[in-house]
Amino acid sequence: MQTRIRVSHWLSRRNDQSTKEPEQEPLLQPAERMPPADRLNQSLIKVILKSDCFSEGGYQNKPGRRSFKRTLDRSPRENVKRSKLDIGSRLKESDIGITEYIGKHLGFSAIIKERYNDFHVNEIDLDGQVAKLIHQDIPRNPCDDESIEDLKILVSPTIWDQLQALGKENPSSVEIDVTNIDKVERRTIHTIAKKLANVVSQTVDKGDKKFLTIVSNTKNDTNGPKIRKDKRIDWSRCGGDYCHFLLHKVNMDTISVVNQLAVSLRLQPNNFCYAGTKDRRAWTTQWISLRKVEPHNILRAGKSIRGAYVGNFKYAKDSLKLGMLSGNQFRIALRNACETDEKIEQAMKSLQNNGFINYYGLQRFGSVPTIPTHEIGKCLLQGKWHEAIELILKPRPEKDNELAEVRRIYAESKDARAAYDKLKRIDTIEARLLKGLQILGDKNPLGVLDSIPRNIRLMYIHAYQSFVWNHIVSKRIKQFGTEVVVGDLIYDKQNCKETINSEKEDLSNYTLADVVMPQPGWKVTYPPYAKAWYDEFLAKDGLTTDLRQNNKKYSLSGAYRNILEIPTNLSWKIMHYENKHDDLILSDIDEMRKHTSPQDKPNGKNKALIIEMCLKSSSYATMALREILKNDTSAETQAALSAAHDVDNIKSNVTTIDECSSKDLEIEKDTEKNFDKCQEEDVDVKTNEIMKINDIENISETCQIIK
């Protein structure tokens, strides 16, 4: 549009030669004088110059109207300061003992979780089946599939004859003596009656006897007895009391979704059972179980939550329990992979053959460096109950303004009631603690801590265990490398126990993947060379390897964890893409809706590495990615990489625009010359015409004189 205005100004200058226009600066400026934002706005200029903007029918300035002039920042590019990207202070890997690598390959730069759609996690159950949302159908009640003939043999002939009378009279009513009939047969009678006719049934007491009253449920039955229709499900015939279903979600953690489902279904969150929690910043799929809740109600509740989907309903006899999974399947896209295909292949081969150090990832420790979860766990293990409560409620940088205000109020006033009254959500850890403080006060800190769910309290103390384990394993790798040494603990798969490797002759029989390292506790065995490391590390925090307390809730028996983890079913491919927001992996819900799978774009300017692998339930995929990239996986580092990638894209766009601007400037100058040439030619034509007219006038005067 701006070029149109400029050209129309030149056209108006032709029409009015008497008006001298002030000299104006060219519309397109040299690249070095133009700030990046203005350069991007110039990207349409080339298209406009090729359009019909030179036609007489284009935009015309009105007579006397000042021509449009764009105001641009004249400051040089190098002096324009970009605002610093504020990504906050986050935990780094080195803060929690993650320092070593296994592979000898060279790492490369790539961005982890630039988008939620780059990270997909599907639970693997104990039978090895991957949890994948494929439908949202409501399962048929098995009772509906039973024929009347199959049920006939379950009741006596007398009762069968009485049931046959149903529906023959209108209204029909039957009373059956069930005094000496067990509960199973009574349930069968109910089922047969419902299959024979539209009836309702009810067991009533008459003296010393019990009668099953069955009446028609027709609308014109106004005189018969009023019996409420029994809508209950016979769960024993469905296959069990529990409904298992898949939860497929994004941008929410498991606990948050469960809380919302509980509100919609009018249940308590502890009615929901699942094998483990899943990350927020990913597409995740996991199994959940509920007791005696019908699938259609769960489906209705799921539809009310944005970013959550439920499906694959089935009935089961048992509930899910924590830890009832064998692992997780991961589908991951690493964007902006800045390395040759050959070196990427080397890194992936190293992961496939050597695995990665089985560190506990950053997710285990929270995102706030000043108040990581293991610090709260340390206070609990030390018996510092008041300090643990203060750490949980301590102010911290966070997006939730309401929660930040609540923390501030409590920190300044220590008034739990005033802080609690500011909360809108009462299902958070902070709300439970503040409520506990209101009821129990400061004199019973253990009781206040008990108001937090048990799994959250265990998460804090297990985070401290993980903190110790990471540091000890890093020290072991740094000192002994990847070789198996005398004193290492070897996991005996046949006997399912740990043994100390004390013979040099046995070293060749094992690899580092067979070696385990204990998490501290009173029940584990420590490698002889590492016992002093544990003692020294724990002594700094006033603790011992026993980790036993008078309060058994906060005692730790310990456990064992493999030093290395080797992914199974590992595969990978290179994919090129054009735009930053292109989807590279389909989620379960997209596949269920038959969306087209993302395809490689060979001419795309960006490259991504697509990885698919399976890991055990306690392993972190980010630690596998760290081994591939040889780079920090913290949010701070990834945000910096993403920002750098954005800057590179802007620079490449600016370079292209500079080239276009240079060409457009030449076009503009040529256009000005053409207009000036046309004006000069017009002046010459007019001069010749005037000269001809003057000659004619002179001839006429001469003729008059002669006459």
* Cβ contact 117:584 at 8 Å: yes
Check: CB of residue 584 under 8 Å from CB of residue 333.
Answer: yes
- The answer, yes or no, to whether residue 341 has pLDDT greater than 70, is yes
Q: What is the pLDDT of the chain when averaged over all its residues?
A: 78
Q: How far is it, in rounded angstroms, from Cα 99 to Cα 623?
A: 11
Query: With 80 as the cut, is the pLDDT of residue 530 above it?
Result: yes
Q: List the single range of 43-57, 178-192, 336-350 with lowest mean pLDDT.
A: 43-57
Angle at alpha carbon of residue 513, lines to 510 and 514, rounded to 5°: 50
pTM reported for the whole predicted model: 0.70
Mean pLDDT over 279-308 rounds to 94
Please report the pLDDT score of residue 270 as a whole number: 87
Decide: helix, strand or coil at residue 606: strand
Domains of the chain in start order, with CATH, are: 93-117+334-358+569-641 (no CATH), 129-138+236-325 (3.30.70.3160), 148-232 (3.30.1370.50)
* Angle (CA) 447 277 373, round 5°: 50
Residue 639 is inside which H or E element, if any? helix 635-706
pLDDT tier, 671 (very low <50, low <70, confident <90, very high otherwise): low
| CB of 476 closer than 8 Å to CB of 530 | yes
Buried-exposed string 304-330: b where 16+ CB fall within 10 A, e elsewhere: ebeebbbbbbbbeeebbeeebbbbbbb
The whole-number pLDDT of residue 660 equals 54
DSSP string, 147-162: -HHHHHTTS-HHHHHH
- What is residue 660's three-state secondary structure? helix
Amino acid (1-letter code) at residue 450: D
**Residues 217-249: pLDDT tens digits?**
654 445 555 545 455 566 666 778 899 999 999
Which pLDDT band, with edges at 50, 70 and 90, does 525 fall under? Answer: very high
Record the tokens describing residue 578, joined without a space.
């054009």
- Number of other CB atoms surrounding residue 45 within 10 Å: 21
d(CA 543, CA 383): 11
Q: Which of 129-143, 193-207, 417-431, 678-692 has the lowest mean pLDDT?
A: 678-692
Burial call 70-88: b when 16+ CB within 10 Å, e when fewer: eeeeeeeeeeeeeeeeeee
Any idea which of 256-260, 342-346, 452-456, 517-521 has the lowest mean pLDDT? 452-456
**Would you state the structure tokens that stand for residue 372, as one six-digit string?**
């990581």
Which is more confident, 390 or 212? 390
Per-residue pLDDT band for 497 (boundaries 50, 70, 90) equals: low
Residue closest to 402 by CA, chosen among 431, 426, 422, 372: 422
Distance CA 4, CA 19 (A): 20
Most confident of the following: 55-69, 157-171, 485-499, 594-608 = 594-608
Q: Measuring CA to CA, which residue among 574, 631, 568 is closest to residue 343?
A: 574
Report the alpha-carbon distance of residue 568 to residue 110 in Å, rounded.
22
Whether residue 615 contacts residue 622, with contact meaning beta carbons closer than 8 Å, is answered with no
For residue 154, pLDDT over 60 is answered with yes
Among 279, 514, 582, 588, the one annotated catalytic: 279
Structure tokens at 443: 């004199």
- Residue 141's pLDDT band (cuts 50, 70, 90): low
pLDDT digits (tens, 9 = 90+) for 547-591: 888 888 898 999 999 999 999 999 999 999 999 889 999 999 999
Report residue 184's pLDDT band, with 50, 70 and 90 as the boundaries.
confident
Per-residue pLDDT, 399:
72
Separation of alpha carbons 428 and 430, rounded Å: 5
Residue appearing with tokens 């002939």 = 157
Q: Is the pLDDT of residue 508 over 80?
A: yes
Integer-rounded Cα Rg, in Å, for the chain is: 39
Least confident of 174-178, 355-359, 416-420: 174-178
User: Which pLDDT value is given to residue 448?
Assistant: 94
What integer pLDDT is reported at residue 414 of this predicted model? 92
Instruction: Please report the pLDDT score of residue 507 as a whole number.
Output: 84
Q: What is the pLDDT of residue 85?
A: 37
Find the range with the poorest average confidence among 89-98, 114-123, 539-548.
Answer: 89-98
CA 545, 547, 548 angle in degrees (round to 5)? 135
Q: What's the pLDDT at 646?
A: 73
125 is catalytic: no
Q: In the structure, what pLDDT confidence band is assigned to residue 676 with cuts at 50, 70 and 90? A: low
**Reported confidence tier of residue 140, pLDDT bands at 50, 70, 90:** confident
The arithmetic mean of pLDDT across residues 627-645, rounded, is 82
Distance CA 410, CA 418 (A): 8
